[in-house]
Structure 1
Amino acid sequence: MTRLNDKWFRLVGIPVMALLANWIFYDEINRQHNQLFWIDWIFSLLEVSLLWTISRYGILRSRRRYPDLSQTRPRILFQIVWFVITTGLVRLLTTFLYDTSLFWGYHYTPIRYVYNVAVGLFGIIPIAAIYEGMYLYRQWTVTYYEAQELKKINLQTQLESLKEQVKPHFLFNSLNTLQGLVMEDAKEQAVAFIINLSQVYRYLLQSNEQVLIPLSKELTFIQAYVELLKTRYEQGLVLELAIAADVLDYGLPPLTLQMLVENAVKHNRISTGSPLTIRIESDAAHNLLVVNNLQPKQTVVPSNQMGLANISAKYRLLNQPDPIIHRTEHIFQVSIPLLPNVQP
């Protein structure tokens, strides 16, 4: 049976309830019959202890039968029936004993029997409501944190899956570029490309295991990455930076910029006569804006939104809002929050 950790509640609640019940409901009639207050309180204490114990047992039974948050209604109905029956029987029995023995020096009228039962219920129901309120709060807390933990595990699983896709995806695109250089017989460019690729891929493998990385490091990487792309696109790809100095130590999930740049390159035409310009800038609210001019390819490129999904999953794990996407006829913009206090 579920254990009730209510020791202090009973030690304080029973004497206080006995005192209040005796003073509010029975003080006048006891004074009329010259009863001593402390004797009245002792018997009231015994009766309250008995009712509290019986009611507590009913609460435990209801919780064992209907433990879940979704079973609150039947659990409360069970308790109400239990309280009415047990409190009614106990109060009728004690009133009968007092009546027949003339313990208090007078007989009890039928109305007095009903009154005593009502007083018992009036005292027990608020106490039961406190028990149930505490139980509901505890159940809600457990359910909430379990749901949050499951959500976090699910996001983490999705993120790990996406991260495993990013590595081969990046390598596949790089090998395609290298293949183009080899076919063009651009050996010097191919060698330079391989050297840059090894440096960039090392950073990719190392940083992707971190939760956050300083913006300054990510910017250094993205400049090297764009230089890698320029081996293929030359002057057709332009990178512009406008970053305030006070946000360089702010953090963001690693490879965020790489995925956004890759997304822009994938979906837009790139040529020397019509360059793709990618601008990375910070705003006053400590957001990072990645903006590129729109010049969609004539052939639609299939997209599984892997890059944006990866970024969103990382921000959700950090309890941060998703990136905000703004698209017009001429530009595509992604706004991502920068997080403070990240050590370089």
Structure 2
Amino acid sequence: MDKHTRAQSQQWFWIAAIWSAVGLFDATQNVFVMRAEGMHHNWGRLFIALLIGWLPWALATPTVLRLGRRYPPIQWRPISRWIRHLAACTAIGLISAAWTAALEKLMNPYANMPGPGTYSRLFLEKFYSGLLSYLVLYITILLASHMLDSRERLALEQTETARLNEQLSKAQLSALRRQIEPHFLFNTLNSIAGLVREKRTDAAVTMIVELSDFMRRVLEDSNRQQVPLGEELEFARKYLEIQKARFVERLQCTVNVPNDLLLAQVPTLILQPMVENAIKHGIAKRAQGGSVRILASRSNDMLTLSVYNDGPGLPANNETQTGIGISNIRTRLQSLYGDDFKLNMQNQAPGGVEVSVSVPFKE
């Protein structure tokens, strides 16, 4: 069953359910009230006549819904649209009057003696007495149609807006990613060039191999905006291996991440620029080198990643993002999480700098 057929089936189901409920209420109420007042009618026939008397309106409802969509009642002009609605209401009223008159003529539910009278008299009586109710019913269907269509249009607009926002976010993140990867690549190539000038050939070759492996993994995951924390740690370790080839014993690394957080979803390449920032602005400025520590923790529904280095602290009143890496981290987090994230860079006692990122925890 295709989508259109399924939608039509659902529409007919709800039309039948609503009008059946209306018919049951009308028949039950009239029969009980009349019996309570001591009237004497053919109660079974009366119940059936009142119940199925709503059939013309049930069958006409899809037509009214289509007219409501094609000629929205909220627009007053042109006047021809109101003439169409009035003609449709009159036609349905005539059919309804003809149907109820036929039921009364055939079933005589009110037990009139010697009979219900002529069909033409019943027809005119039903039509003129029901003019106001026909108009009210028709307007009610139009209003219900307008409300349902407005709700559907709003849902479609929200879905389309969400889709466009997702596409925009992906485009922004892809642009930022394309900015990060060459930045990292050029820095690493500069380090390799430095090793070659220093005639540290083995270290340069090791760095090239590590760089090749790192970039291959980056390209393999280029379509993913989020990855498990365990995979992100592997990226960070690969980057640290590349840097160790440059710094040798001057760079010490520590990773402290609980196993139960390894499946948490984090933005891809979120740790690498944090580690790069720690090495570039901390470790590289010290002749004796230093250490980098990667930590992860969970507090309630937030996951916090932090990278600490024991290098020089930030200047006073300058604990803000520095460089392309940290700046892009903030922009990427804004695109992915809106305002539901935290990014801090601050000095730590007795020395060193820590960059921390807090994002919603999600496995």
- Sort the TM-score into its range (normalised by shorter chain): 0.5 to 0.7
Equivalent residue runs for 1:240-259 within 5 Å: 240-259=254-273
Bigger drift between 121-130 and 225-234 goes to: 121-130
1:222 deviates by 2.1
Aligned residue for 2:239, secondary structure, equals helix
Partner of 1:283: 297
The CA RMSD measured in Å over matched residues stands at: 5.0
Alignment match of 1:86 (pick from 79, 89, 94): 89
Equivalent residue runs for 1:167-186 within 5 Å: 167-186=181-200
Q: 1:294-341 CA deviation, whole Å, 9 max, x = no partner?
A: 43699x96638334444665x56xxx986421244554322245643x
1:289 deviates by 1.7
The answer to whether the Cα contact below 8 Å between 2:56 and 2:92 also exists between their aligned partners in 1 is no
Cα distance between partner residues in 2 of 1:254 and 1:168:
16
Structure 2 counterpart of 1:147, one-letter code: T
Structure 1, unpaired ranges of 5+: 67-71
- Greater relative contact order (CA < 8 Å, ≥ 6 in sequence): 1
1:57 deviates by 2.4
Cα distance between partner residues in 1 of 2:219 and 2:160:
32
1:29 deviates by 7.0
Alignment match of 2:324 (pick from 295, 298, 303): 303
CA distance 1:17–1:128, shift in 2 (3 Å): farther
Cα distance between partner residues in 2 of 1:226 and 1:290:
15
Aligned residue for 2:285, secondary structure, equals coil
Structure 2, unpaired ranges of 5+: 106-111, 349-353
CA distance 1:288–1:208, shift in 2 (3 Å): farther
Cα distance between partner residues in 1 of 2:71 and 2:141:
20
Alignment match of 2:358 (pick from 310, 335, 341): 335
Cα distance between partner residues in 1 of 2:231 and 2:174:
22
TM, length-normalised to structure 1: 0.66
1:168 deviates by 2.5
Alignment match of 1:36 (pick from 42, 60, 68): 42
Is 1:50 the equivalent of 2:56?
Answer: yes
Alignment match of 2:14 (pick from 5, 9, 14): 9
The answer to whether the Cα contact below 8 Å between 2:210 and 2:238 also exists between their aligned partners in 1 is yes
CA distance 1:51–1:263, shift in 2 (3 Å): same
Equivalent residue runs for 1:1-344 within 5 Å: 4-5=8-9, 6-24=11-29, 34-41=40-47, 44=50, 47-54=53-60, 56-66=62-72, 74=75, 82=85, 86=89, 90=93, 94=97, 104=116, 116-120=130-134, 131-132=145-146, 134-209=148-223, 213-232=227-246, 238-265=252-279, 270-272=284-286, 278-285=292-299, 287-292=303-308, 294-295=313-314, 303=324, 305-310=327-332, 315=336, 323-328=341-346, 330=348, 331-336=354-359, 339-340=362-363
1:280 deviates by 1.5
1:266 deviates by 5.2
Q: 1:105-161 CA deviation, whole Å, 9 max, x = no partner?
A: 7x99xxx99974455566666666655554444444333333333333333333333
Count of equivalent residues: 321
Q: Among the aligned pairs, what percent are the same residue?
A: 21
The answer to whether the Cα contact below 8 Å between 1:22 and 1:44 also exists between their aligned partners in 2 is yes
